[in-house]
Structure 1
C-alpha cells in the first residue's frame, strides 16, 4: 500500500509561474476538465493518439478529459469512452493516459462518461481528510504526514507517538461540526506573493502557482485532488480506530456514504449476534462474558477428562507390555498428548522404552521416551526415525519428539523397533 506524503500532491500540480502567460501550459490546464468542474460527469473530446505502453496495455490520449488520474493519494476515475471501459487513468510525462479494455474503433470523436458514484465518493473522502487533518492540528497541533485513500476506509499518519481516546473524540466532534456548518470549499491557484497571505497546514517546496484547497478560517492546503463545493457534502465523518506505526499514529476513518455503509454492516452483524446470543444489543457484553466463562470451565473439564483418560491408557499399556519396548499407534492425538502419555508411562515403567506415534491428517508425529533405568540413545534413534519420514524434531536425553510425512504408524514403529533392539 503506497502512502502519499502530504504536500506531494500540491507539488505535483504546481506549475511554472507562466501559467497565465504561457499558452501551452495554460492549455494543458484547460484540458483538465476536472479542475474546472469536479461535478462534470460527461464530456466530448478528440482522440489524439492510441498506443500501447511498455507492458502492452492499450491507452488513449484525448484533447481534453474529465477523468482524474491517479495521484497524490487519490485513486483515478473510472468510466467509459465510446462505450469502452476505462480501467485506469495515469498522468505520464504531462500526458493523461486513459487505459481501456479494448481498442477504440476508428473515428476521432470521443464521448466520455465517468463513474460518478466513485468520483463523488473520492470527493467526500478527500475533503473529509482535509477536515480531519485540520481538526487534529487546530486542537492539538498534531500534524498529518501522509494519507491513503483506500477502497473501504482512509488512513492518515500523525506525527505523534500516542493518541488518547478523549483527544480523538474531540477531534471527531470538531470535524463533524465543520461539516454541519456547510462551509464553502474553494480551490485557487496562487503565486509566490499571494501564497504568503495564507496559513498553510504544510509548507511546500514549490511556491509558484500552487493549487490551494480552502475552507475559510479553518484549512488552507496545497492539493490537486477533486473536492465538493461545501463541507456539508462530506456528510459526516467517523474515526474507526488508530494504531501505532513505528513512531507515528495511524488513524483509520470514513466519510460520507461510507459511514452509512459501515453502520449498515455493523447493524447486520449486531442483528445476527442478537439472535445467536439471545440477548438485546445492550446486554451483549454480559452475554459474551458469560459464554467465555462457560467455555473456560468446559475446557478445564475436558483437560481433566483427557488427563484421566491418559492415565487409563498408560495403565493399560504398562499392564500389556511384557517386552522392554512399549509402543502404540494413535489416530489424531496431538504431540502434547503424546508427550504427556509418554511421561506417565516412564514414571511407572522405569526400565522401558516408549515408542508412540499418531497419524494426524497429513503428517505422522511421534514421541520416544525412556525410563531412568532403560538403556539407549534417544537422540540417535530420533535422527534415524526422522529420516524415515523426512521430518524434523528435537528433545533431550529422556524424551524426544518429531513429525514428518504421513506413513503407516504401524510400519513406522516396526522400522524403529528394528534399529533400537
Structure 2
C-alpha cells in the first residue's frame, strides 16, 4: 500500500483527497464468494481497505435505487473488494435492485469512522517522532491503529526502571506537538525525492522504480505510508499513552486519542 496504484488496479481516490467522504465511480464487477459473501469492485474508490495497521472504511455504494452497504474492504493484488450486502430499501420483502457492471455509482463513507481511524493512524506516526525527540532511537516496527487497542512497536528495549518516566515524557511530548500543530504532507513522489523526504533512504522493500506515497509531519522526516491521516497534527486531539511493555526485545507503546 505504500506505492501508487499500478495500471489495471483500483485507483485509490483517497490518495488524491483524504478529506473526501463522497465520490463517484464505475462498477467493474460483482462477486459472490463461498458462504454468500458479496463484493463490488469499482474502477476507483475512497474506501480505505484494511491494511497497514488501519481498519477498513465502511459506508454505502448506491445508484438508481440500489444500495450496497459496505461493512469491509480488502485489497487483493491491487484490486479493492468492497464487501457487504444489498439493502431492501422498500422494507417490503421484495428483491432489492442490484448494481450492474458498467453502472455509475455514488460512494459515501462513514465520516466519523474515517476521522477516528485517521486520528489514530496519525497518532501512531507522531509517537515515532516523540520517541526520537526523547533519545529513544529504537527501530519502528508494527503499528496497530484500530480503536480497540491502538499501539506501535519498536525493536529494542527501554530499561524497566525507566518505563514509567518514559511513558509520562512520551505523552507530554506528544501533546505539546499536537498543541503546536503542524501541516501533514501526504503525497506520491518519485523514488529519489521520496528518499530525501524520509531522511535520505527508504526501506529495502520499496522498489527503486516505484513512486512511493510518503507521509510527513511538519519538519520531521517522512516515511512510506498508504493509510489516511489528519490534515494537521492538531487534529489528532488529546493523546494518552496508556502503557509501555517490553517483551522479547520489543517495546510496545499503547495509546488512545480523545477530542
What band does the TM-score fall into relative to the shorter chain? 0.7 to 0.9
Tell me if 1:150 matches 2:146: yes
CA offsets, 1:206-253, max 9 Å, x none?
143111101122241110100111001111211011223222122110
Partners in 2 of 1:68 and 1:201 — Cα distance?
Answer: 29
**1:122 and 2:102 correspond:** no
Mapped to 2, the partners of 1:85 and 1:146 lie a distance apart of: 31
Which is bigger in relative contact order (C-alpha 8 A, separation at least 6)? 2
Give the structure-1-normalised TM-score.
0.52
Match of 2:3 among 5, 9, 14: 14
Contact 1:201-1:219 at 8 Å conserved across structures: no
For residues 198 and 73 of structure 1, the distance between their equivalents in structure 2, rounded to whole angstroms, comes to 22
2:86 equivalent to 1:102 = yes
Q: Give the match for residue 94 of structure 2.
A: none
Count of matched residue pairs: 237
- Of the three residues 233, 236, 239, the one matched with 2:238 is 236
Q: Structure 2: any 5+ residue segments left out of the alignment? A: 88-96
When the two structures are superposed, what TM-score results if normalisation uses the length of structure 2? 0.83
Q: Residue in 1 aligned with 2:92?
A: none
Deviation at 1:201, TM superposition (A): 9.8
Q: 2:163–2:244: 8 Å Cα contact kept in structure 1?
A: no
Query: Does the aligned pair in 2 maintain the 1:201–1:221 contact within 8 Å?
Result: no
* Secondary structure, counterpart of 1:113 in structure 2: strand
Of Structure 1 and Structure 2, the greater strand share is in: 2
Q: Is the 8 A contact 2:61 2:68 kept in 1?
A: yes
SS in 1 for 2:196: coil
Distance between the aligned counterparts of 1:48 and 1:176, measured in 2?
Answer: 44
Partner residue in 2 for 1:198: 197
Report what 2:47 is aligned to.
67
RMSD over equivalenced CA pairs, Å? 2.3
Q: Which moved more, 1:227-236 or 1:247-256?
A: 247-256
1:137 — aligned with what?
132
The structure carrying a bigger helix percent of its residues is: 1
1:32 maps to which residue? 12
Q: 2:107 aligns with which of 94, 109, 112?
A: 112
| Aligned pairs for 1:191-270 within 5 A | 191-200=190-199, 203-205=202-204, 206=206, 207=208, 208-257=210-259
Q: Distance in 2 between matches of 1:113 and 1:201?
A: 38
